[in-house]
Structure 1
Amino acid sequence: MHLAAPAIILAVRAHGEHGAVVRGLTPDHGVQAGYVRGGRSRALRPVLQPANMVLGEWRARTEDQLPALTVELVHSRAPLHAEPLPAAALEWLTALTGAALPEGQPYPQIHAALAAMLDAVEAAPAARGWAGAMARYELLLLGQLGFGLDLDRCVVTGSGADIAFVSPKSGGAVSRAAAVGYEDRLLPLPAFLRKGGEPDWADVFAGLAITGRFLARNVLVDRRADALAARERLVDRLKRAVA
């Protein structure tokens, strides 16, 4: 096995005294794991930071063997890890992607969207420019993994008009008319999740409430649920930042 590809680092785990197991998301080969010799050294620690862009080369004698991985830094986002809000965003985005995606399966749309999200966080550390996009990224990931939400037509009437809510059970959209009397049992659906545009903060948090519910129910289950702690920290920081 020999693969050379650009990758976004998703996770780094210490292995042995000096090495590290690194998982990276490549454009055409999905998540790839590899052992980096000396990955905990002073020279490599700044390179092996989640959200950094690297050029990786994976080599293994058999398909069952954990490949040896060498990396060359392409773009560092290490300075953002010193800023609380951007650091929380990078932690969540990489933790979510690393926990949700199976290894070795290509998800080019997710790779492109994650790269764009990381660029947005880097360009606007204050979050106004990327908080809504993060909800859309979570929605994309749900869809790519087979848990997409049907937000185009009301599950009760079949109409695409005046969609205003989401069923927390089915994930289907509900129109304002069909929701009468049941509003407190449904999740408000902000328009930007369906049509794009720039949401206000109330809509951002409404969107995150929807995607967070279905990520926790359908994707981040069992041992992968640990990743949700990173999301809780980020949402808490966002709420404090706009209070």
Structure 2
Amino acid sequence: MQWVDEGIILSAHPLGDSSLRAILMTRAHGRHAGLVRGRQARAACQPGTIVQAAWRARLADHLGTWTLEVTDAAAVSLMDDRNRLSALASACALVESLTAERDASLNIYEDLRSLIALLGGEAWDIAYVRWELALLEHAGYPLDLSRCAATGVTADLKYVSPRTGRAVSAEAGHAYADRLLPLPQFLAVPGLGGSPEEIHQGLMLTGTFLARMLAQQGGGGPVPARERFLARYRKAHAL
């Protein structure tokens, strides 16, 4: 059997002397693995690279083989900024960790494709945090940051409950501030910018719930690529 689809390289691992086992997130076929043959394939199989992919196998449950044609080598354009490149690697690793194999999810695919483009812009780090929030929602763990869980107000939201993932206002959460997560204002107010400190708060917020999802799915500890990105972002901004 065979099919052709657009895909994004999530990871690629050596298999033998001149082949790779490449994992892609595809538009219509979800996360899918296959064998890529040839030494030249290694240069194409970088996380975040967008490809036209043809998958072939004798039976549907076989590993199969890829024929890949690069349409957008996004990682190359980010090589001069290690923070952005690390964010791209983190995003690809999270998608690989939080999606089921061969389970199509157009929203996750389209969001990752959009993030790849946004990583080249000025507010790339804000875009990345918002992408993680969207990934949580698509994966079945949405956070409600639109109104206070205790009072229903939509203004002066300052905290997030680590138990429910719902926002809490400054007044309602004051007495419990040490038990709540800080809510950076760029996540509470659409269109608002954020400082590196606030973006770091956003990464810690999403990281809390990503870790919980991974634990519930039996995925073990934190995703190494995300941990490296978080450490690099902290170091870059002396946080």
Separation in 2, partners of 1:57, 1:117: 24
Q: Which runs of 5+ in 2 are unaligned?
A: none
| SS, match of residue 183 in structure 1 | helix
Q: Contact conserved, 1:24 with 1:32, CA < 8 A, in 2?
A: yes
Matched, 1:86 2:80: no
Q: Which runs of 5+ in 1 are unaligned?
A: none
Note the alpha carbon deviations across 1:124-162, whole angstroms, 9 max, x for none. 4xxx52111111111111111111112223222233333
Count matched residues: 236
Separation in 2, partners of 1:223, 1:50: 24
Counterpart of 2:111 in structure 1 is: 113
Change (3 A) 1:148 1:31: same
**Ranges of 4+ aligned residues in structure 1 off by more than 4 Å:** 220-223
Separation in 2, partners of 1:226, 1:174: 28
Deviation at 1:194, TM superposition (A): 3.5
Separation in 2, partners of 1:81, 1:49: 12
Separation in 2, partners of 1:202, 1:78: 26
Note the alpha carbon deviations across 1:201-232, whole angstroms, 9 max, x for none. 22211111110010011136677446622222
| SS, match of residue 42 in structure 2 | coil
Counterpart of 1:195 in structure 2 is: 189
Q: Contact conserved, 1:6 with 1:56, CA < 8 A, in 2?
A: yes
Instruction: Give the alignment partner of residue 76 of structure 1, picking from 51, 61, 73.
Output: 73
Counterpart of 1:214 in structure 2 is: 209
Q: Contact conserved, 2:19 with 2:35, CA < 8 A, in 1?
A: yes
| SS, match of residue 199 in structure 2 | helix
Counterpart of 1:18 in structure 2 is: 18
Aligned residue runs from structure 1 range 113-132, under 5 A = 113-121=111-119, 123-124=120-121, 128-132=122-126
Separation in 2, partners of 1:94, 1:100: 10
Output the amino acid matched with 1:215. Answer: L
Counterpart of 1:156 in structure 2 is: 150
Q: Contact conserved, 1:164 with 1:176, CA < 8 A, in 2?
A: yes
Separation in 2, partners of 1:217, 1:96: 13
Output the amino acid matched with 1:156. Answer: A
Matched, 1:29 2:23: no
Deviation at 1:81, TM superposition (A): 4.4
Matched, 1:138 2:132: yes
Output the amino acid matched with 1:211. Answer: T
Separation in 2, partners of 1:199, 1:213: 20
Separation in 2, partners of 1:175, 1:83: 37
TM-score normalized with structure 2 length: 0.90
Counterpart of 2:233 in structure 1 is: 238
Note the alpha carbon deviations across 1:7-33, whole angstroms, 9 max, x for none. 110011222332211111112222121
More displaced 10-residue stretch of structure 1: 187-196 or 97-106: 187-196
RMSD: 2.0
Separation in 1, partners of 2:141, 2:218: 19
Separation in 1, partners of 2:187, 2:15: 41
Counterpart of 1:104 in structure 2 is: 102
